[in-house]
Chain A
């Protein structure tokens, strides 16, 4: 289902700049996952962060999780034109069902 909230809904930056996307959710979670989707393609998994973790890194990606605020952020550093895509967060609850945010459309201008 689609119940989480992401902001901004759209983000336009220049190549080389950092992009930060935020995700808020409402219930307690097992983990939170970030995905990327290019138009016409399936979701690509980026990072999974568990509820007892606060920060994870993968290459140019940094994800933070604040369970007290029920929020997460995805930071893409030194963005590239190829990072242009929609980014989604998804939370897995105790029932193991995923809930997706509405997504952030990122445009990186060369």
Chain B
């Protein structure tokens, strides 16, 4: 199994600033996914992050706004840049552990409030 540590769990951010969310996995995984969830709504996939390649962004999300790093098979970061109140949301990382039969694991989520 894979255990995911996501930081920060919560933060209050000033408008115009940027915040980086970290996702640490206790085992090597190929696929990592970043999602956004606004309260009362479903998850929206932001991007897929594979080690050694550029992240693949979904429609409506761009690298300048949500830069992602994936320096190795156990770690990824998502930065929310130049934040506005509309970015207030829960951000969630998820991994697919191909070593355990493609099992999916989820982080605890990072709840950002932009003021």
Contacts and interface: CB of A to CB of B under 8 A. Distances in A.
A43 B102 contact: no
Nearest 4 interchain pairs by C-beta: A96-B39, A42-B45, A45-B42, A39-B102
Interface string A64-82: 0000000000000000000
Given A86-B104, A92-B40, A43 B94 contact: yes
B48 A97 contact: no
A1 B4 CA distance: 9
Q: How large is the interface on B (under 10, 10 to 19, 20 to 34, 35 or more residues)?
A: 20 to 34
Main secondary structure on chain B at its contact with chain A?
A: strand
A97 B40 CA distance: 9
Given A1-B108, A86-B104, A43 B90 contact: no
A48 B42 contact: yes
Interface in A82-102: 86, 88, 90, 92, 96-98, 100
A30 B37 CA distance: 14
Interface residues of A, number: 23
A39 B98 CA distance: 9
Interface of A: 1-2, 30-31, 33, 35, 37, 39-43, 45, 48, 86, 88, 90, 92, 96-98, 100, 103
Interface in B30-78: 31, 33, 35, 37, 39-45, 48, 58
A31 B39 CA distance: 10
A40 B96 contact: yes
Contacts of A48: 41-42
Nearest to B89: A96
A46 to B, nearest CB: 9
Contacts of B106: 1-2, 98, 100
A103 B105 CA distance: 10
Contacts of A96: 39-40, 90, 111
B41 to A, nearest CB: 8
Given A2-B106, A90-B43, A96-B40, A39 B96 contact: yes
Nearest to A42: B45
Interface string B90-115: 10101010000011111011010000
